[in-house]
Every structure is written in structure tokens, then in C-alpha cells.
Amino acid sequence: MPFSAPFDLTQESANVIVRSALRDHTVGAIVGSALGDAVGLYTEFLSADQAAISYPSRSFTLASPNPTPFKLDTHRSPKNPGDWTDDTDHALLLLLSYLHTASTNGADPLPTPSDFASRLRIWVQQGLRVLDTMPLGLGRLVGTVVATKNFVEEPEQVAREYWKRTGQRVAPNGSIMRTHPLGLMCLFRGEEETFAVAAKISRVTHYDSRCVIACVYGTALVRAVVRSEILMEEDINLLLRKVVVWYAGQPEVGTESLELDLAELEKHVKAESLDVLQLDEREAIGYVYKTLGAGVLLLRMAIRKTRESYGSLLMRVAMFEELITDLIMRGGDADTNACFAGALLGAFLGYEALPDHWKHGLRHEQWLIGKAEALCQVLGLADGHYDGQEDKDTYPDGGRGFVSEHEIEGRWMVLQQTAFKKIEDALKATSKTRSRWSVPWPGKTEH
């Protein structure tokens, strides 16, 4: 029987309800992604077996007074519970680029590849200036491409040359982790414009067709989920077909070995379980299709659970934590997988359904929500005035000024000393041998 409201809504009332829902789901996508990133850090680079040994309760809390402690090793020791990683930092570079030129007076130009490239180079050298954090987690691909002399002026050309130089086979997940804000910026723009800007921003560093199609599809999914255009699993499949058709029609496809292996793509985005994706496969943990497939599968699971529970509020509140926890306990590139999946689930469930003991434990929670609210104001989803030119946070130096190379070197030394002191203190507290903490500090093998 079709839904029949017991009362008539005025157009004004309906608009208020829709606007409020869009706002909640927009903020949910941004915060949900950061939460996935922060919780995923607990098991990043571990195998599923190692994750199970390290966190036998399969339960995580970010909020004070008793946040879940990390399995201490040289990878996690520079961070604290509630910190996000480079994944969220890079997404924020895009958001800040957009907000810098946006206002509630009608201006909202999309981020350009050149501005994003410039901000990315600053991040590689100095970290996220607005929050005064260091550039931890820099991967090989991004580090190499960004360090190239003419990167800021011609980022796509530099990325293309790197891709060719490495045998046209490198397809890591370092661009899909950052592009979800584009789906929010494009809420009221056309679908194909959304596809195009996602492709451009991927190619700033990641030129391979698999990276590009993953960014296009992931960005389009975030946009469609917030717009309530993804209600059934078939809607996910339909959007994939649209993206594939659009991509095949791009002029560069077919001229540079950029054709898609559709079977390989569908194997991942139509996976029936996380086991199929082998997320902790040691030589391929950073493969972009693993991250894409994990996020899409969790969105499918959320749709199924919602339908099975008839939209139960209690089920929705528990869903984000349950799905993200199961994902990160698979190990691998857990923070990136959960960062992308968190964006999709946050967009689907909304901010209010995110677990309190996670979202209130984010280190920069209020700042992040403030930027999400600024985005909502620019999009017309929240009241209030906003002008990015008046918001010093959006400037490339974060309103703090740049730091000298000498000061950066000093900060690295302090960070290293602090990290190793944490390990030493933990060793003393547990009276364990040093071999327990002998896990190497791996960088992102590609990203």
C-alpha cells in the first residue's frame, strides 16, 4: 500500500524537511569519512589475524576518558586515538580549496587541478597548516609525483608521465580516499559535471583508468546517496552503468591504453562478501578496486539492513559502527578502506546516526563540523553568512603562515622522539621484551 501521510504538508514545510535531511547527510558524509579513517588506523597494515589478536574485543572507543589504545608500533605511535590520517587531510585540501572561493552570495566554483596540486605540495612539505599537523603517511606515488619540478603547473602531465614510467600498471587508492567532498559540492550540479571534476582531480596524481573510474563512481555515489537517489541495490548498479558509458566516451580513452577491464571492475563492486576482496592480501592491500569494492559492499549491506528492519532508528544508529568495525578488522589498508566506506555510510545514514563514542572522540571534531556547516551554508542547506575570503582557515597557509625547513626538521625530530618514548613507556608498563614491538614502520607502499 502506498505511503499516505495523515496530514498535508505545505510546500514550505516540505522544503524545510528536505533541507534539514540534506544537511544531516552532507555533514554525515564528511564526519563519517573521518571516523572511518580514524578507526581504521587501529588496524592499518595488519593482517586480519593480527587485527584479531591485537583487538580481541572487536570494540573501539575514540572518546574520553577511556579511548581504546593502539597496538603500539612505529606506525601508530606518532598518532593518538581520535586522530585521522593523510586520507582525511587530502580530502580537506579539496574542501578548503572549494570554500576559499565560495560564499553564500552565490559564488561556488569547483576546485581546480592547479589549486589542489599547489595545496597538495604544501601538505607534503609542511602538513595541514590550518591544524598544524605533520604530513604523516605519504605514499610513494603521491610523494614522487608531487616532488616533480613542474607538478603544480602541469599536474596531469606529471601524473601521466609517472604512470607510463611505471609500466602503466600502478593503480593505488590514494585518489579515491580524497574525492568524496566533490560529490557534496556537486549536489546541485549535473551528473556529468560531477563525473568530469572527479576524473580531473584523480588525474592530478593518479592517471590509471582504474583510479579514475573509481573516483568518478565513488564521487557520484556520494552525491546520489545524499540526494536519496540510491534507495535499492539496483540503483547502485544503474549508476555504475552510467559511469562506464560516460568514461568510454571520453576522448583520451583508447589512445593511451586507458580502456576499462569491465569484468575486473564488476568483480570488485559486485562482491558478495568482504572475504572475496581479500583486503589484507599483502602485495595488493592498496589496490584501488579493493577500496572501491569494500565501500560499495558496505553501502549494499546498509541498504539491505535498512529494508530488513523497516528503517528502524535503533538499527540505523548501530549500523555504522557494526559495518565499519567488521571492515577494519579485515586489516590491510584499513584506514583508506574505511575512509571511503565511511563517506558512503555517513551520506546514507546521516550525522545523527553516527556513534557518539566515535564522533565525539575525533581530535578536531568541532573544527571539522564547522567546515561541514560552512559547506552546507554555501549549498543553501543551512542558514547564515559565509565568505571563504573571510575564513583564514581556507588559505593555503591555514592563516598561520608557513614554517621554515629548519623548523620542519625540528618537528620531525620531536615527533620521532615522542613516538619512541610511547613505545618505551609501554614496554616498561607491560614488562615485555622489545621483540613484541618490532613491527617496522611501513609507509604507504603506493597511495
Binding site for Mg(2+), by residue number, is: 85-87, 333, 335-336
Q: Which amino acid is at 358?
A: W
443: CB partners within 8 A, 6+ apart: 137, 138, 139, 140
363, 64 in Cβ contact below 8 A?
A: no
Locate cell 591504453: which residue?
257
How many C-beta neighbours within 10 Å does residue 196 have? Answer: 17
353, 320 in Cβ contact below 8 A?
A: yes
Buried/exposed code over 58-91 (b: 16+ C-beta within 10 A; e: otherwise): eebbbbeeeebebbbbbbbbbbebbbbbbbbbbb
Binding residues: 85-87, 333, 335-336
Q: Is 343 helix (H, G, I), strand (E, B) or coil?
A: helix
DSSP string across 26-53: HHHHHHHHHHHHHHHTTTTT--HHHHHH
Please report which helix (H) or strand (E) contains residue 266, including its range.
helix 262-269
State the DSSP code for 129.
G
Q: What angle do CA 307, 34, 230 make, to 5 degrees?
A: 30
Rounded to 10 deg, the angle between the 11-40 and 334-349 helix axes is 160
Phi-psi domain of 71 (left: phi exceeds 0; alpha: psi -120 through 50; beta: other): beta
Q: Is 334 helix (H, G, I), strand (E, B) or coil?
A: helix
123, 427 in Cβ contact below 8 A?
A: no
In angstroms, the CA 376 to CA 386 distance is: 10
Chain centroid to Cα 152, Å, comes to 23
